[in-house]
Amino acid sequence: MTYPFWYLAGLVLFWAVAPWCACVAMDLWRRKRRQLLARHYQWSWAYILLSVSLAWSTLFLFWPLVQAFVQSFTDFSLTSASATQWVGARNYRDTLTDPFWWHTLWVTLLFVLGTLPIGIMTSMFLAVQILKQPKPLQTFFKAALYLPGVISPVVSAAIMKWIFHSRDGFANALLHGVGLPAQNWFGDPNLAMPVLIVMSWLSANGVGVIVYAAAIGNIPKTYYEVARVDGAPAWRTFFSVTWPLVKPTTIFVAITGLIGGFQVFAPALLITGGGPLNTTYFLNYHIYHTFYYANEFGAASAMAVLLMAIVIAISIVNYRWLATDVEY
């Protein structure tokens, strides 16, 4: 129970000493000198200050990452009695030829496409509306819109289970009030996903609003003055001034949104269980089932690595597509 702390201590020591030795040795060799310099003393502090973080990253990030790669080429499983064997790319082949994998990918993509573009538009629009208000109101709305973001996924799930209860939840009571028939929200294959998407519109835009408000607020006034003098209509001002100038922010919001969106998991685990008829069976939920219930760690690792490849690829494409050198 305590021996892993020796690993951690050893790693801290390693990162404090080894890179420094390497750097100093390189430096001394290049300058053909023998004595240590003042900057070598500074370098030692840099690596000492970084050592804990680097040790932590090694043990809890890089090492598991390597393990995940290695494991994805084995048939490591808790349920099979036989010893773990190398299976080459079989896990990847099996995953990519499994129609269910593509189904979960499609479901996840649907969620991302349903939430992200509208989320970006909503946050930009709300940010513009916020900037029109006097300062105290700006602070209030930024805080109020961010508030749902600090609520835990479990609490949100509990509330949503209650609101969209199939018999006598809040949503059905509203429908009853206006004389519409009750719905079986999370039990209806046509409704479960749209409900999740709409709820995300309402609660997940806090960061976007704050970031856009800061970005749009930083645009120099003169651009808008010029646009007004030229008699540009509001939409033209938006597309020719605001949109290009906040592009770096859009890249940030889009990429963080994509990374988060592709990892959507809590609604499936806590609200729908992937159902009804697997319409909310997200990719992460598939991975979770593969490793937690089926205990097929090799296959699950392969899926996770594929997910990582997808996320990285989309982030790069997104960056390339939106990136422009904006200077102002």
Partner 1 sequence: MARSIEITSSRAGRWAGLAILLFYTGMSLLSLYLMVVSSLTHLGASFEFNDLDWFPKDWAWANFTAFFGLTRGAAWTWLRNSLIVALAPTMVNLIFSAMAGYALAKIDFPGRILVFWAIIGVMVIPAFVTLIPMYQMMFRFGWFDTFFALIIPRIAGIGGIFLFKQYMTTLPHDLCEAARIDGASEWGIFWKIILPMARPILAVMFLLDFTAAWNDYFWPYLVTNSKDMMTMQVGLISLIGVDQGFALQLDYGIVMAGALMASLPVIVLFIALQRFFVRGLTMGAVKG
Contacts to partner 1 from residues 59-98, by CB under 8 A: 60-61, 63-65, 67-68, 71
CB of 181 to partner 1, least distance (A): 15
3-state secondary structure of 36: coil
Q: Are 219 and 242 in contact (CB under 8 A)?
A: yes
CB of 131 to partner 1, least distance (A): 4
Binds partner 1 by CB under 8 A, chosen from 126, 193, 195, 196: 126
Choose the stretch contacting partner 1; rule: CB under 8 A; options: 84-92, 94-102, 112-120, 160-168. Answer: 160-168
Six-digit token string for 188: 């209806």
Per CB under 8 A, does 129 bind partner 1? yes
Binds partner 1 by CB under 8 A, chosen from 167, 181, 235, 321: 167
Per CB under 8 A, does 154 bind partner 1? yes
Contacts (CB under 8 A) with partner 1, residues 169-228? 169-170, 172-173, 176, 186-187, 192, 199, 202-203, 207, 210-211, 214-221, 223-225, 227-228
Q: Which of 48, 41, 62, 45 is nearest to 15 (CA)?
A: 48
Which CB, 8 or 110, lies closer to partner 1?
A: 8
Q: Which residues, at least 6 apart from 262, have a Cβ–Cβ distance to it below 8 Å?
A: 108, 112, 283, 307, 310, 311, 314
CB of 120 to partner 1, least distance (A): 13
Query: CB-hemisphere CA count at 13 Å for 262?
Result: 19
CB of 102 to partner 1, least distance (A): 18
Counting other chains too, the contacts that 178-187 makes at CB distance below 8 Å and 24 or more residues apart are 186/161, 186/271, 186/272, 186/275, 186/276, 187/275, 187/276
Per CB under 8 A, does 275 bind partner 1? yes
Four-residue CA torsion sign, 115, 120, 123, 126: negative
Q: Could you give the CA distance from residue 307 to residue 287 in angstroms, rounded to a whole number? A: 10
Choose the stretch contacting partner 1; rule: CB under 8 A; options: 28-36, 40-48, 86-94, 95-103. Answer: 40-48
Which CB, 107 or 300, lies closer to partner 1?
A: 300
Helix-helix angle 153-163:170-177, to 10 degrees? 30
Which CB, 18 or 113, lies closer to partner 1?
A: 18
Which CB, 93 or 176, lies closer to partner 1?
A: 176
Per CB under 8 A, does 116 bind partner 1? no
Amino acid letter, residue 216: I
Per CB under 8 A, does 166 bind partner 1? yes
Per CB under 8 A, does 131 bind partner 1? yes
Q: Are 162 and 170 in contact (CB under 8 A)?
A: yes
Contacts (CB under 8 A) with partner 1, residues 242-271? 248-249, 252-253, 259, 262-263, 265-266, 269-271
Query: How many CB atoms lie under 10 A from the CB of residue 321?
Result: 9
3-state secondary structure of 169: coil
